[in-house]
Amino acid sequence: MRFLITGATGLIGKKITSLILKRGDQISALTTNKHNINKYDNIDFFYWNPALGIVDEGCMKGVEVVINLAGSPIAQLWTKNAKNSILKSRVNSVKLLENLILKNRNIRNFTCASAIGIYPSNLQIEYTESSLHVSKSFLGNVVKLWEKSCHNLENNNINVLKLRIGLVLSSEGGLFKPISFFTKYYLGTWFGKGDNFYSWIHIDDIVNSIIFLIDNNKKGIYNLVAPNPVTSKSFVTQIAKAYKTKIFFPSIPVGIVKSLFKDMSELFIFNQKVSCNKLMSDGYKFQYSDLKKALSNLIK
């Protein structure tokens, strides 16, 4: 089977391409970096530029499954231009892929990354895929429009998977890397009371669950988070314990974070307690269901 992947050189993309190749499948990938073309022996790269509506249509040859992981990084300074890029890079990429897919009716599945950022911050609610609550924040609006951009494919009888991904734990990058780095060198802390929930997932469970859902012809929305979310205070203290270090710094008042970072502060004080019961009830078995086991794998 041949996959078409966007964002193949990103944190999740690199892991999922490795898994797909190991099991003997083939990969085509879209890239905005022309230097990637002909750079890899085992992946066929094709150029695209979603902002300009440019794509090499040869990328679709033999493809049955499309995995879309494209999008401008969330973790950047939220200037007006950056926020515009964060939104449009996601919506435009889906629109461009939609045009390709509807021309090529051999596609049996379109899998699109999304995020649990669609859910409002709330200590009292455990969010499921059927939750109607949508955050009124910038990220909430981005995810809402991101998922909405997939509707036309769904209306054309394409199996669409929308993956609401939580806090990804990987030693290679993402938010976990700086948190663990600072905690390792006795600079770990949390915000406010530290009672806001982090719905996390190990990078291996991300890629394994995506392939599991595709192989089992699933469609619709799935929360990709581990079964046991933890508070931000517990998150940092468990990292410190794994490194055998201590927490010396006092917590950072939420008011200071909001004052310094304005609407971008939601990146630091987010609070989503998210359920993965749908994924587990469909038969997926987590390799890392609790944080201690995940950290023992990542921190060596």
- pLDDT tens-digit series, residues 76-132: 889 999 999 999 999 999 999 999 999 987 899 999 999 999 999 998 899 999 999
Report the amino acid identity of residue 138: F
Q: What's this model's pTM, rounded to 2 decimal places?
A: 0.96
DSSP state of 143: H
* Span 42-52, pLDDT tens digits: 999 999 999 99
Average the pLDDT over 145-165 and give the result: 96
Q: Which residue has the tokens 């997932």?
A: 201
Task: Look at residue 178 in the predicted model and tell me its pLDDT.
Answer: 93
| CA neighbor of 191 nearest in space, from 141, 260, 144, 126 | 260
Task: Look at residue 106 in the predicted model and tell me its pLDDT.
Answer: 87
Domain-wise residue ranges, the chain: 2-168+200-225+276-287
What span, in angstroms and rounded, lies between the C-alpha atoms of 103 and 81? Answer: 32
Phi, psi of 124 (to 5 degrees): -95, -15
Query: 280: which 2 tokens?
Result: 């587990």
Does the pLDDT at position 3 exceed 90? yes
Does the pLDDT at position 75 exceed 90? no
User: Comparing 38 with 203, which gets the higher pLDDT?
Assistant: 203
Cβ-in-10-Å burial (0-12, 13-18, 19+) of 223 comes to buried
| CA neighbor of 167 nearest in space, from 228, 214, 84, 253 | 228
Say if CB 197 and CB 228 are below 8 A apart: no
Q: Which CATH number fits domain 2-168+200-225+276-287: 3.30.70.870, 3.90.870.10, 1.10.357.10, 3.40.50.720?
A: 3.40.50.720
Cβ-in-10-Å burial (0-12, 13-18, 19+) of 295 comes to buried
Q: Which residue has the tokens 């939601």?
A: 266
pLDDT class of 300 with cuts at 50, 70, 90: confident
Pairing of strands 126-127, 273-274: parallel
Query: 163: which 2 tokens?
Result: 């993956």
Query: 257: which 2 tokens?
Result: 């974070």
Average the pLDDT over 252-272 and give the result: 91
Say if CB 135 and CB 91 are below 8 A apart: no
Please give the helix or strand (H or E) that residue 196 lies within, else none.
Answer: none
